Each structure stands twice: as C-alpha cells, then as structure tokens.
C-alpha cells in the first residue's frame, strides 16, 4: 500500500505517460485538490477544459461537469474518477416542461444552469453558471426567461433583474436548500456572511455577499472573520489561501455526498486503466454544444 507522497509520485508518472491533466471542483476531497492541475468553479472548469493540450482530461467533480467537458471537447478522452458521482439537481427538470413553456410564450429564452443533464442542455437556448447567470440573462433580448433547474439561483436572478420576467422551475440543490436559517442568523452582524446562490432566499437575505465558489474565495480575502455558507470542500482552498482569516462554520456543515465519492485512489485507477470514459450521444452532444458555447462567449 502506497502512502500519500508515493501516490502523488505515481500519479505524476501516469499523467505523463498517458498525457492526462486533472481538473477539480472546490467541493472535492482535499487529497484531490492537492494533486489537481486546475481547481475552480463550474465556469472556470468548463472554460479551462477548452484550452488544454493533453489528450485525456480527468474531471474530478460530478457527472454534469464531465459531460460538459466532453460536449465542449468531443475529440478528447474525458474520464471521471467515479461515474456514480451525480448532482441530483441536474435531473430536476424535464424536456416536457421546457416544451410546455415554449408553447406558452413566444418571446422566451430557456436559460439552463450548468448543473443539468446533457439532454436538458440540448433543449436550451443558453447555459449559465452561478458566476455569470445575472450577467448573461441581462444580455438576452428575450423578456421571458424560463430558468432551470434551480429555483434558488433563479429567484436570485429574478430579484437582480426586475426588467425580466423570470419563470421559476421547482428544482434545487438538496445540500444548499436544507441549510438551517437560524444557524445562519446566529452569525448575522457578528461576522461577514458569504453565501452561494443555491441557498434558499431566506438565507440569501442574510448574506453580505452572494457568489459562486470562486467569487466567495476572492471576496473572503477582504475580511478577517467570515462565515462561508456553501459546501464545506471550499475550506480546503480558503484555509490554504488565507491562513490568518477566522473562518466560522455552521453547526451543521453542508456536505455533498456525491462530490465526496471521489478520492486520489480512484483518480489513479481511471488514468491507469483508461476507465470511466464519458460518452454523450452524438445528436444530444451537438445540440448541447450550442448553449454551452454561447455561455463561454457571453459569460467571460
Ligand atoms: P460553482 O462552483 O460554479 O459556484 O458551483 C457550485 C456547485 O454546486 C457545483 O455543483
Ligand atoms: Fe449538485 Fe448541490 Fe452537490 Fe453542487 S453541491 S453537485 S448542486 S448536489
């Protein structure tokens, strides 16, 4: 059995041998963040994936992230450390619902959070992430916006853009949605509260700053006593970047069990055996590429 340093060594050789690069989201376990070539929020990861020269991209995150990398880079070999790591919210809207809305409104844009399946993206006009949702929606010519699947991010955009008619869907992130309001309230006025827009609106009302994981990490540097309201994997980067900031934790710290399915052993195994390749049906892939590309153009 190898110790951590030996695993890092063997991974280094494997990556060279197989021409592989590792992307990781801030929510994955510390061992992966330590060995990743790039760590970021959903937008950064999607964008970075289009700039890589390596033949194999390992996407250490949940399934929609690997799928998006494959859609944007169909000629690349995209591997996932655990194909079972999925985002439940990605499935919380149906194609039928989108079709229904399209029938109802002439002047409608279907705006899809990147946390969604490839099939849903294929029926969308544009994708967004939490780092650029309001900015992108504001640039669209359509007045009516069907925002899927996240009702919480959707509601946040609705409030930020009163000139638009944002129609909400009933999907949500189970991890952010269940964050306890009183838990957050107990910190109000005492420390700076930085929250992810997947939180419920009552929680967001208490926040001093709302943004993506990356935006939260950047903002945190301005203060010395902070409550971060999002999945706890973010503390790996926060503590590394700001050893002197006092980071508070909620009584019940939010944990995404899907992100936590990944570890360094799985990363080594998939690269060594070229396992867990992401495949997306050609027709869906080609349709889903359009809204993802539009996101990269309008969201940067
Ligand atoms: P961001 O990193 O884009 O803020 O996304 C958070 C998230 O829930 C990813 O699943
Ligand atoms: Fe999905 Fe929520 Fe996990 Fe992000 S934290 S992957 S939105 S379930």
Strands (DSSP E) contained in the chain are: 20-25, 38-40, 56-60, 77-79, 108-113, 126-128, 144-148, 165-168, 192-195, 209-210, 225-229, 246-248
Calculate mean pLDDT across residues 112-139.
98
Cα–chain-centroid distance for residue 103? 30
pLDDT tens by residue, 138-174? 999 999 999 999 999 999 999 999 999 999 999 999 9
How many whole angstroms from 5 Cα to the centroid of ligand 1? Answer: 29
Q: Are 16 and 39 in contact (CB under 8 A)?
A: no
pLDDT tens by residue, 175-216? 999 999 999 999 999 999 999 999 999 999 999 999 999 999
Q: Which residues line ligand 2 (CB under 6 A)?
A: 62, 87-89, 115, 173-176, 198, 231, 256, 258-259
ipTM: 0.97
pLDDT band at 300 (very low <50, low <70, confident <90, very high): confident
Helical axes 282-299 vs 42-49, angle rounded to 10°: 110
Q: Apex CA 84: angle with CA 69 and CA 199, to 5°? A: 75
How many whole angstroms from 13 Cα to the centroid of ligand 1? Answer: 30
How many whole angstroms from 212 Cα to the centroid of ligand 1? Answer: 6
């Amino acid at each position: 059995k190898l110790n951590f340093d030996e695993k890092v060594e063997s991974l280094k050789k494997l990556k060279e041998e197989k021409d592989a690069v590792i992307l990781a989201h801030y929510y994955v376990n510390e061992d992966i963040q330590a060995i990743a070539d790039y760590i970021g929020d959903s937008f950064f990861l999607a964008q970075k994936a289009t700039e890589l020269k390596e033949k194999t991209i390992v996407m250490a995150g949940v399934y929609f992230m690997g799928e998006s990398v494959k859609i944007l880079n169909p000629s690349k070999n995209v591997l996932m450390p655990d194909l079972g790591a999925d985002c439940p919210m990605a499935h919380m809207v149906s194609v039928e619902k989108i079709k229904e809305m399209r029938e109802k409104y002439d002047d409608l844009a279907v705006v899809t959070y990147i946390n969604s399946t490839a099939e849903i993206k294929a029926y969308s006009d544009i994708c967004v992430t939490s780092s650029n949702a309001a900015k992108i929606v504001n640039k669209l010519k359509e007045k009516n916006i069907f925002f899927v699947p996240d009702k919480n991010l959707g509601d946040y955009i609705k409030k930020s853009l009163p000139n638009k008619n944002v129609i909400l869907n009933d999907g949500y992130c189970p991890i952010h949605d269940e964050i306890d309001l009183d838990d957050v309230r107990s910190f109000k006025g005492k420390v700076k509260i930085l929250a992810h827009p997947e939180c419920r609106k009552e929680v967001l009302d208490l926040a001093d700053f709302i943004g993506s994981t990356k935006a939260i990490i950047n903002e945190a540097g301005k203060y010395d006593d902070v409550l971060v309201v999002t999945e706890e994997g973010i503390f790996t980067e926060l503590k590394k970047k700001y050893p002197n900031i006092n980071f508070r934790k909620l009584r019940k710290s939010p944990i995404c069990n899907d992100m936590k399915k990944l570890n360094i052993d799985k990363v080594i195994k998939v690269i060594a055996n070229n396992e867990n390749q992401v495949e997306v049906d050609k027709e869906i892939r080609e349709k889903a590429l359009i809204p993802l590309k539009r996101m990269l153009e309008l969201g940067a």
